[in-house]
Amino acid sequence: MYSEKLMDHFTNPRNVGEIPNADGIGEEGNPTCGDVMKISIKVEDGKITDAKFRTFGCGAAIAVSSMVTEMVKGKTLDEALAITKEAVAAELGGLPPQKMHCSNLGADALRRAIEDYKGRKGAGPA
């Protein structure tokens, strides 16, 4: 049901954890529904230099989190915001139709982390 690449990201997930003093944190999902993703990012000069995640969820949700955190590193905020659920799924070698929402969750958690970063930057002293 899952591609080899997805299984690799599930069994050896990259970037597990949280960044101390992260610049932005985003969470999406609800444990009663099956998955929750929490992504933290480090931003320098408008680029995401580091990203980490913690995920409660199925194999696809964990693999998506791992892949999203890999994909955003080195990207500008706008480039990162342009990452779609389809792009994440494609990078993982495809997702079964009933698991596409996991991919959505990854893109949404990332978007929230970026919004959090922008909000903090706007509110606090630069």
Partner 1 sequence: MRYFDYMATNPLRPEALEAMMPYLKEQFGNPLSLYDLGGKARQAVEDARAQVAALINAKPQEIIFTAGGAEANNFAIRGLALANRQKGAHLIVSRMEHHSVLNPARILEKEGFAVTYLNVDRSGAVDPAEVEKAITKETILISVLSASPEVGTIEPVDEIAAIAAKHQILFHTDAVASAAYLPSNVDKPGITALSLSAHEFGGPKGAGALYVKGGTRIMPLIYGGIQEGGRRAGTENVPAIAGMGAAASLVKAELAEGKEAARLSGLRDKLIKGILGGVENAYLTGHPEHRLPGHASFCVEFIEGEAMLLMSAAKGIYAASGSACSSKALKASPVLLSMGISAQLAQGSIVFSMGGGTTDEDVDYVISEFPPVVKRLREISPYAGGWGEAKENPTCIQKN
* Local structure of residue 65 (DSSP, 8 states): H
Looking at residues 66 to 85 of the shown chain, list those that interact with partner 1 (rule: CB under 8 A): none
Choosing from 3, 27, 50, 118, the residue that interacts with partner 1 (CB under 8 A) is 27
38 lies in the binding site for partner 1 (CB under 8 A): yes
Residues 111 and 81 sit within 8 Å (Cβ to Cβ): yes
Q: Among 1, 11, 18, 33, which one carries the catalytic annotation? A: 33
* Local structure of residue 38 (DSSP, 8 states): E
Give dist(CA 126, CA 115) in Å, integer: 16
Residues 48 and 75 sit within 8 Å (Cβ to Cβ): yes
Give the residues lining the site for partner 1 (CB under 8 A): 2, 7, 10-11, 13, 16, 27, 30-36, 38, 54-62, 98, 100-101, 104
The residues carrying an active-site annotation are 33, 102
